[in-house]
Structure 1
Amino acid sequence: MTERAVTLDVIDGVAHVTLSQPARGNPFDQRFCSELCDVAIECDETPEVRAVLIRAQGKYFSVGADLKWLGADRDLLPRRLKAATADLHMAVARFARADAPVVIAVHALATGGSVSLTAMADFALAARSASFYAAFNAIGFVSDSGGTYYFPRRVGSRKAADFVMLNEKWSAEDAQRYGLVSRVVDDEQLDAEALALATQLAQGPTKTFGEMKRLLLSSGDQPLETQLEFEARAISTCARTDDSWNAIQAVLARQLPHFEGR
């Protein structure tokens, strides 16, 4: 049986999404993009999923685009890219707009599209030895996977231009200082801290998290009055959930709220 490029396991409300081709460096090719899209849809459509944890196996987090795949046929290349990005970009959109918060744990070199995935995640943890390489310009490509959307939002437009146009490579500390990652942890603590964060999120008000994620996505593009209306409608939606009502009652009773994700 051919190994999967991306695996999914749901344990205690956390969807464990793993880039699972370590021998190849977890490259982005058509099969990877297709499987990542399938996994993103499964996470979005599975009520038991209340947080998503993205990790990778092997020496590299991801080497980015599979150059052998890109270099196989010049005439077919534009078509292959349109087909692959249709899946890849839908995966990014599904993760971004789903209720479940996304945590990514980068343990080594992340290149190209995997840096964009890091920027997409709601929470990004990096091992102290991790690094982030733009790589797009090195092969004459622009950023994909939502990079041109998320990089300016995470690190600012000036630093985003430095990264993608000057083909920079950032250390984990650089990435934290510029805003690409949330925190840097010792290598041996990365898995435990990422899982602890995902577990904490999986015990929270999942529907409310989803509304907040979507509000944050729209905040950079909408006029003030429109965003205010989005907030009013979102908070009203939250008020209809069992989690919100039960939490209000718990706080009134001076008890800790317990969230079921509904």
Structure 2
Amino acid sequence: MITRSTRMTIKDGVAEIVLCQPERGNPFDVQFNRELCDLASETNESPETRAILIRAEGKYFSVGADLKWLGRDRAAMPRLLKEATATLHMAIARFVRGNAPVVVAVHGLCTGGAVALTAMSDFAIAGQSARFYAAYNRIGFVADGAGTHFIPRRVGSRRATEFLLLNETWDADLAAKNGLVNRVVPDDQLEAEARALARQLASGPTFTYGEMKRLLATYTDLPMETQLELEAQAIARCARTDDCWNAIQSMLARKPIEYVGH
């Protein structure tokens, strides 16, 4: 019997994804990556999902790559890595391109690909126990999971280079100071804080969030004129939504705004 690496529940608009192999340290392996990709696809297509919360059970958030799995067969390792990154990378792309904002709640050790997952998220909250360990070049790897895309965007290119090439470990406070996470809370408040933020996001204009996320994903890559046109196209699409029209009418009538997500 194969034990699942993850589980997901959807309640009050929040899809809560839990890394649930604490006895193994919640490693990133082929099974985990496939499950994460499936869940990313499911949340993309679920009209119930208006925000996503990712958290983990156990002592660690994630120890990163499963070295026992990687170390079994030297000749097969390149192929295994291509298979594993195919689903991991698709999961990251679908979380980033989807409408639902992603909140990650990190406690304990967060290593390698889990740091990239943290950087990918729209909001990251760290418990005081969190430690972010680059890890990649310790075993001769480069970053994956869009780590080279999102870590420099969050912390700046100089700090990202130090973190990755010098194989640094940042505690929660340093991660917040450098911009990898939004804020630090006591460990016993981490789940409550993350869920509150996810619920707040789930009550907002979900389609608009998606348009804003996609604009923020391209701002460093495109000429200003191209970004301006993308903004114009996106704001016009937002103008077609019920949320936009109802929000404007509610403000004119001085009534509370209620968003339905489309």
The Cα shift of 1:255 comes to 1.1
| Residue number in structure 2 paired with 1:189 | 189
Aligned partners of 2:45 and 2:166: how far apart in 1?
Answer: 39
| Residue number in structure 2 paired with 1:161 | 161
Equivalent position SS for 1:218: coil
| Residue number in structure 2 paired with 1:86 | 86
Which stretches of structure 1, 4 residues or more, deviate above 2 A after TM superposition? Answer: none
Can you give the 5+ residue segments of structure 2 that lack an aligned partner in the other structure?
none
| Residue number in structure 1 paired with 2:43 | 43
The Cα shift of 1:129 comes to 1.2
Letter in 1 for 2:164: V
Aligned partners of 1:27 and 1:126: how far apart in 2?
Answer: 19
Please list the CA deviations of residues 52-93 of structure 1 after superposition, one character each: whole Å capped at 9, or x if unmatched.
000001011000000000001011100000000000000000
Equivalent position SS for 2:17: strand
Aligned partners of 2:170 and 2:8: how far apart in 1?
Answer: 29
The Cα shift of 1:6 comes to 1.3
Q: State how 1:31-110 maps to structure 2 within 5 Å.
A: 31-110=31-110
Aligned partners of 1:149 and 1:82: how far apart in 2?
Answer: 18
Q: State how 1:249-260 maps to structure 2 within 5 Å.
A: 249-260=249-260
| Residue number in structure 1 paired with 2:140 | 140
| Residue number in structure 1 paired with 2:200 | 200
**2:178 pairs with 1:178:** yes
| Residue number in structure 1 paired with 2:17 | 17
Letter in 1 for 2:12: D
The Cα shift of 1:39 comes to 0.6
Equivalent position SS for 1:184: strand
Aligned partners of 1:196 and 1:3: how far apart in 2?
Answer: 30
The Cα shift of 1:209 comes to 0.1
Aligned partners of 2:72 and 2:185: how far apart in 1?
Answer: 39
Equivalent position SS for 2:103: strand
Can you give the 5+ residue segments of structure 1 that lack an aligned partner in the other structure?
none
Please list the CA deviations of residues 33-56 of structure 1 after superposition, one character each: whole Å capped at 9, or x if unmatched.
111100110011101100000000
RMSD across aligned C-alpha pairs, in angstroms? 0.6
Aligned partners of 1:252 and 1:220: how far apart in 2?
Answer: 36
Equivalent position SS for 2:8: strand
Letter in 2 for 1:114: A
Instruction: Indicate the percent of aligned positions where both proteins have the same amino acid.
Output: 63
Letter in 1 for 2:64: G
Q: What TM-score, normalized by structure 1, do the two folds share? A: 0.99
- Pairs aligned (count): 262
